[in-house]
Amino acid sequence: MNAAPILIASALLATNALGSIADFESQTEGFAGPTLTDNGITFSHLNEFSGVNPDGSNFVPGEYGTDFIVENATLAINDFPSALSGTNALSWGTAFIAGDNLSINIASSFRMSTGSVENYASMSLLIFENGPWGGIELSLQAMREGAVVGMDTIVISDLGGRDNLVGKTLTIDGVEFDELLLAARFDDGTYTAFAGLADNITITPSPSSIALLMMGGIATTRRRRGV
């Protein structure tokens, strides 16, 4: 059997396994509506829960807005290149500032999906820590048919004093999921809110699965050559 078709098939499989990366660079700055799809990842269900604000007051679903926003975040990206890249980032809520300046808005939760079963995800966040945000748990939940199958959580720093921006990353690896939920909660599970931006959201098969797939293609090619 000719090795060339096997090499081509392996390359195509590996390409498909690269999955989806939402960086929002192809989007136009402004309101995107309650659903936004970028590079194969769909964002939806913004602020769908009721909860308690960091100051102790209550909020209802949709109070922080139901629209996603593509924000030209050039100034923030220049200051925090480890958290954001390119020109655009994902924001949310009811307002944005046109041009290189930006508004950092509040959200409680939103969902993400490629429409397929995946087993690896990561997302970069630029969030406010300390101040009123200290102690809030920000979690990325992996869900399969509505059940939580994995989670990565960070606790926002509570060092006192004025709040400040910091870059964080959340990652899911090694569990099969069909949806992700990013949510802010208190340690008792009550929904609350955080302030920030998101960027470079990756949802794919795991890197180890991609490596095995490519190795399998190479091994098959070698076996065929020996026939």
Q: Is residue 135 part of a domain?
A: yes
Total number of domains constituting the chain:
1
Q: pLDDT-based confidence at 160, cuts 50/70/90?
A: confident
Q: Is residue 46 part of a domain?
A: yes
The CATH code of the domain that includes 94 is 2.60.120
pLDDT recorded at residue 207: 55
From 181, 175, 104, select the one nearest 138 (Cα to Cα).
181
pLDDT recorded at residue 219: 44
Three-state DSSP state, 60: coil
Note the pTM of the prediction, 2 decimals.
Answer: 0.83
Q: Is residue 14 part of a domain?
A: no
Q: Is residue 186 part of a domain?
A: yes
Beta-bridge mates of residue 86? none
pLDDT reading at 13 higher than 50: no
Residues 67, 137: Cα–Cα separation, whole Å: 23
Q: Is residue 69 part of a domain?
A: yes
Burial of 71 (0-12, 13-18, 19+ CB in 10 A): buried
Query: Would you give the distance in Å from CA 16 to the centre of its chain?
Result: 20
pLDDT recorded at residue 188: 95
Beta-bridge mates of residue 30? 70
Residues 108, 43: Cα–Cα separation, whole Å: 14
Stretch 34-58: mean pLDDT, rounded? 97
Largest CA distance in the chain: 73
Provide the residue range defining the domain that includes 30.
Answer: 20-204
Residues 34, 179: Cα–Cα separation, whole Å: 17
* Helix ranges, the chain (H): 3-17, 74-79, 207-225
